[in-house]
């Protein structure tokens, strides 16, 4: 499903791709329709995972049988927890040298705290991997090694695995007994439990009680894939049996939409894409109702009606036109010019607003300059189109230099987007070196600060007086503006203008011009003039008064800290740890993974540029690392002074 040129060149998934597959299960011979979204594993493209999990009903977490749980796995798992998505685990690549099912299973239990239900054991490992033990039927599936999984036999469990299989079967009954009285009673009374009863209990436990079935195989050789598809059909929920989706109507009242085609139409737009020869594609998940092609929907964010010209069932980058879509469908629409990621689309006569999507802020930025004047317009259109597709990609203009700055989640993220801009939109551009996306905040409480904006130059003047208090809202607290005016000291129509002025001031901090975060502002008091006061006067007062108060509140610089995990042979441990310490890193836990050592650390992003090359040279190319955003933290005083001096030229 990796159809983009960049994906094929790098051998990784970059964008989520949707497809619809049909599978006839091996037991009941019933054909099932499965809607699949393949998502990236690299942390720079975490937005693709976030928005896909928001609209999916179940997930298969695929693990490398050699590496087990990796850092990005933990992030994705937390995202799935957040959306309460039922999931199962598939330990893949069991034919690789170093593959260890039991070590991978232990990492899933320990690092993800998953309530696992092991339903298969591997037969053989590495080059000798032949099949699986099905702990539900207590039979073995063995694949013919020459046919790439085209045929298999169901046979008795090999003698050398009989005892281990009994042990894991008992463990499976223990897990299911916690959620099924039938299983518990029969198990304790040593009565026979049929495979049908186990499957029914496992389905209920997976969908409603957070139990995670664990399977194994090798997708490359098509071994273990058939029982995995069976498991998806048997243990993942169908859209029709999900609880109603909850939203709000125009009055702000809570309303429900059942997953039925008889209900009013409701859908969530979760992805925007520009496709060759087609234009803008809007991917959406239908939660209720039915929509015919050419139908009209209401966009709750814009307040506008939009007509969907065509509806497409997607197969990666191929499209099949549909006459209508129904509850549970994941499709793409053409013609929705004003729709963005996270917008609710609903029946114009029965409007609903569904929970939207939230995305992390970018942590890295680069400057891009068009090579010719002809490239300038093309670059503007390209960057607008790319930012519309990707909510974690931001474009802004530096007010002082006039440079175009693009921001994203990491070096690879920006590298891919610049590459797409040049290839797909044929823009020639010069790209600067990556820069860290710093933030600013305050560390002191200012209980009261007065600012008077007064200007008289003949005719109508400007007058606005405000008294504000500011305080830190803590990491992740965001920006908050509170109106605490009483007695009409400032007319109500001017109060939002003060807030707008403060919001504008937050975009450029007083230290080095970086955006400000995590500040609470309270408007305590003020004064106005019957003739000279205006919305603009109070907006200016908000901007200037806030900046003055910030200078008193000991502003500081915040920098992005990355969670780094290095996997290295033991003989290089000292060099790796020493190097991380030299980068202002805080080394945390160290653990063994097979014959390798895993070092976890928190390191400022500013110190991680060029780390790949340095790590290769220090370990003769035998170590590798992953990193993902952890948090924003205050920079040390000496580092802050260096950065401020560099940015301001003072």
pLDDT digits (tens, 9 = 90+) for 411-439: 888 888 898 898 888 889 888 888 888 99
**Is 599 within 8 Å of 587 (Cβ atoms)?**
yes
pTM exceeds 0.75 for this model: no
Same domain? For 92 and 231 the reply is yes
Q: What mean pLDDT is predicted for residues 321-342?
A: 92
Same domain? For 194 and 219 the reply is yes
Say yes or no to pLDDT of 12 above 70.
Answer: no
Beta strands at 344-346 and 266-275: parallel, antiparallel or unpaired: antiparallel
Same domain? For 159 and 131 the reply is yes
Structural domains in the chain (count)? 5
Task: Answer left, alpha or beta for residue 6, where phi above 0 means left and psi between -120 and 50 means alpha.
Answer: alpha
Give residues with Cβ within 8 angstroms of 488, minimum separation 6: none
Give residues with Cβ within 8 angstroms of 490, minimum separation 6: 466, 498, 523, 526, 527, 528, 538
**pLDDT band at 106; cut points 50, 70, 90:** very high
Q: How far is CA 85 from the centre of its chain?
A: 14
pLDDT, residue 242, reads 86
Q: Say which residue the tokens 């790439």 belong to.
A: 148
Same domain? For 385 and 495 the reply is no
Say yes or no to pLDDT of 328 above 50.
Answer: yes
- Element holding 525 (H helix, E strand): strand 519-527
Task: Answer left, alpha or beta for residue 55, where phi above 0 means left and psi between -120 and 50 means alpha.
Answer: alpha
> What does the radius of gyration of the chain's CA atoms come to, in whole angstroms?
29
Q: Give the range among 5-19, 46-60, 385-399 with minimum mean pLDDT.
A: 5-19
Asked, for residue 184, whether it belongs to a domain, the answer is yes
**pLDDT band at 1; cut points 50, 70, 90:** very low
Q: What percent of the chain has pLDDT over 70?
A: 96
**Is 501 within 8 Å of 538 (Cβ atoms)?**
yes
Same domain? For 370 and 416 the reply is yes
Q: What mean pLDDT is predicted for residues 517-527?
A: 96
% helix / strand / coil in the chain, to the nearest 5?
30, 35, 35
pLDDT digits (tens, 9 = 90+) for 246-262: 999 988 899 999 999 99
CA distance 200 to 182: 11
pLDDT digits (tens, 9 = 90+) for 306-320: 999 999 988 766 788
3-state secondary structure string across 287-326: EECEEECCCEEEECCCCEEEECCEEEEEECCEEEEECEEE
Sheet holding 330-334, edge to edge: 304-307, 296-299, 344-346, 266-275, 279-288, 330-334, 310-315, 318-322
Same domain? For 430 and 469 the reply is no
Which of 553, 582, 603 corresponds to the end of one domain? 553
User: Which is more confident, 539 or 649?
Assistant: 539
Neighbours of 121 (CB within 10 A): 24
Q: What is the CATH number of the domain that holds 633?
A: 3.30.70.240
Q: What mean pLDDT is predicted for residues 517-532?
A: 94
Q: What percent of the chain has pLDDT over 90?
A: 63
Same domain? For 326 and 395 the reply is no
CA distance 22 to 53: 21
Mean pLDDT over all residues of the chain?
A: 90
Same domain? For 159 and 200 the reply is yes
Asked, for residue 44, whether it belongs to a domain, the answer is no
pLDDT, residue 156, reads 96
CA distance 368 to 418: 9
Tell the burial category of 503 from Cβ atoms under 10 Å away from its Cβ (0-12, 13-18, 19+): middle
Phi, psi dihedrals of residue 525, rounded to the nearest 5°: -160, 180
- Element holding 563 (H helix, E strand): strand 555-569
Cβ burial 537-571 (10 Å sphere, 16+ → b, else e): bbbbbbbbbbbbbbeebebbbbbbbbbbbbbbeee
Length of the chain: 650
Say yes or no to pLDDT of 103 above 90.
Answer: yes
The stretches of 189-292 forming alpha helices (DSSP H) are 195-208, 225-235
Same domain? For 110 and 161 the reply is yes
Q: For residue 633, which of 591, 592, 585, 596 has the smallest C-alpha distance?
A: 585
Phi, psi dihedrals of residue 315, rounded to the nearest 5°: -130, 85
Same domain? For 529 and 620 the reply is no
Neighbours of 17 (CB within 10 A): 23
Same domain? For 284 and 374 the reply is no
Q: What is the CATH number of the domain that holds 398?
A: 3.30.70.870
Same domain? For 336 and 192 the reply is no
Asked, for residue 25, whether it belongs to a domain, the answer is no
Q: What mean pLDDT is predicted for residues 255-273?
A: 93
pLDDT digits (tens, 9 = 90+) for 468-499: 999 999 998 899 999 999 887 899 999 999 99
Q: What is the CATH number of the domain that holds 446?
A: 3.30.230.10
Q: Is the dihedral of CA 250, 256, 262, 268 positive or negative?
A: positive
Which of 203, 237, 271 corresponds to the end of one domain? 237
Asked, for residue 158, whether it belongs to a domain, the answer is yes
Q: Determine the 3-state secondary structure of 503 from DSSP.
A: helix
Task: Answer left, alpha or beta for residue 28, where phi above 0 means left and psi between -120 and 50 means alpha.
Answer: alpha
Q: What mean pLDDT is predicted for residues 99-103?
A: 96
Which of 354, 376, 395 corresponds to the end of one domain? 354
Q: For residue 342, which of 393, 389, 306, 308 has the smallest C-alpha distance?
A: 389
Q: What mean pLDDT is predicted for residues 177-190?
A: 93
**pLDDT band at 79; cut points 50, 70, 90:** confident
Say yes or no to pLDDT of 9 above 80.
Answer: no
pLDDT, residue 527, reads 93
Q: Say which residue the tokens 């329709």 belong to.
A: 33
The stretches of 222-372 forming alpha helices (DSSP H) are 225-235
Q: What is the CATH number of the domain that holds 167?
A: 3.40.50.300
Asked, for residue 90, whether it belongs to a domain, the answer is yes
CA distance 179 to 202: 9
Asked, for residue 215, whether it belongs to a domain, the answer is yes
Asked, for residue 456, whether it belongs to a domain, the answer is yes
Say yes or no to pLDDT of 501 above 90.
Answer: yes
Neighbours of 301 (CB within 10 A): 15
DSSP label of 347: B
Q: What is the CATH number of the domain that holds 307?
A: 2.40.30.10
Please give the residue range of the domain that contains residue 599. 558-648
Say yes or no to pLDDT of 2 above 50.
Answer: no
Asked, for residue 118, whether it belongs to a domain, the answer is yes
């Amino acid at each position: 499903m990796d159809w983009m040129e960049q994906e094929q060149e790098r051998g990784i998934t970059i964008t989520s791709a949707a497809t619809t597959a049909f599978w006839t299960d091996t037991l009941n011979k019933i054909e099932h329709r499965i809607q699949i979204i393949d998502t990236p594993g690299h942390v720079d493209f975490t937005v693709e995972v976030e928005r896909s999990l928001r609209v999916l009903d179940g997930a298969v977490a695929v693990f490398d049988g050699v590496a087990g749980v990796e850092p990005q796995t933990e992030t994705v798992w937390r995202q799935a927890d957040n959306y309460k998505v039922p999931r199962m685990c598939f330990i893949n690549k069991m034919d690789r040298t170093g593959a260890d099912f039991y070590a991978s299973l232990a990492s899933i239990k320990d690092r993800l705290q998953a309530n696992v239900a092991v339903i298969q054991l591997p037969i053989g490992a590495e080059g000798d991997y032949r099949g699986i033990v099905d702990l539900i039927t207590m039979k073995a599936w063995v694949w013919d090694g020459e046919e790439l999984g085209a045929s298999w036999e169901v046979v008795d469990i090999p003698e050398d695995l009989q005892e281990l299989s009994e042990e894991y079967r008992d463990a499976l009954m223990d897990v299911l007994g916690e959620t099924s009285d039938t299983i518990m009673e029969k198990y304790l009374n040593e009565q026979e439990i049929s495979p049908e009863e186990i499957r029914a209990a496992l389905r209920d436990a997976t969908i409603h009680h957070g139990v995670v079935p664990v399977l194994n195989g090798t997708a490359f050789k098509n071994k273990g894939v058939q029982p995995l598809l069976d498991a998806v059909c048997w243990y993942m929920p169908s859209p029709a049996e999900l609880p109603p989706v909850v939203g709000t109507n125009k009055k702000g009242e809570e309303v429900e939409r059942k997953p039925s085609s008889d209900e009013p139409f409701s859908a969530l737009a979760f992805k925007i894409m520009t496709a060759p020869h087609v234009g803008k594609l809007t991917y959406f998940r239908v939660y209720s109702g039915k929509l015919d092609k050419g139908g009209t929907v209401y966009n709750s964010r814009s307040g506008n009606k939009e007509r969907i010209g065509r509806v497409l069932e997607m197969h990666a980058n191929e499209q099949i036109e549909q006459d209508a879509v129904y509850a549970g469908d994941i499709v793409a629409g053409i013609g929705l010019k004003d729709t963005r990621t996270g917008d609710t689309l609903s029946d114009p006569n029965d409007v609903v607003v569904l929970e939207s999507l939230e995305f992390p802020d970018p942590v890295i930025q680069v400057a891009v300059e068009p090579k010719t004047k002809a490239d300038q317009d093309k670059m503007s259109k390209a960057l607008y189109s790319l930012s519309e597709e990707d909510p974690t990609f931001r474009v802004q203009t530096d007010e002082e230099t006039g440079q175009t700055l693009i921001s994203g989640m990491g070096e690879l993220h920006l590298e891919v987007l610049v590459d797409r801009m040049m290839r797909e939109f044929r823009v020639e551009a010069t790209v600067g070196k990556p820069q860290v996306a710093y933030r600013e905040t305050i560390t002191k409480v200012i209980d009261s600060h007065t600012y008077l904006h007064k200007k008289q130059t003949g005719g109508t003047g400007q007058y606005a007086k405000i008294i504000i208090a500011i305080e830190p809202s803590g990491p992740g607290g965001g920006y908050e503006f509170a109106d605490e005016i009483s007695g009409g000291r400032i007319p109500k129509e001017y109060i939002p203008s003060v807030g707008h002025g403060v919001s504008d001031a937050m975009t450029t901090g007083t230290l080095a011009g970086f955006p400000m975060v995590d500040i609470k502002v309270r408007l305590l008091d003020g004064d106005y003039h019957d003739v000279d006061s205006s919305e603009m006067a109070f907006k200016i007062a908000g901007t200037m008064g806030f900046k003055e108060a910030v200078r008193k509140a000991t502003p500081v610089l915040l920098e992005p800290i990355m969670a780094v995990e290095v996997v290295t042979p033991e003989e290089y441990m000292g060099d790796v740890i020493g190097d991380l310490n030299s980068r202002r890193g805080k080394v945390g836990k160290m653990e063994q993974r097979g014959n390798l050592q895993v070092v976890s650390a928190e390191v400022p992003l500013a110190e991680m540029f060029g780390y790949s090359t340095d790590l290769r040279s220090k370990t003769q190319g035998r170590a590798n690392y992953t990193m993902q955003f952890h948090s924003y933290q205050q920079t040390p005083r000496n580092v802050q002074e260096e950065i401020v001096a560099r940015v301001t030229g003072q």
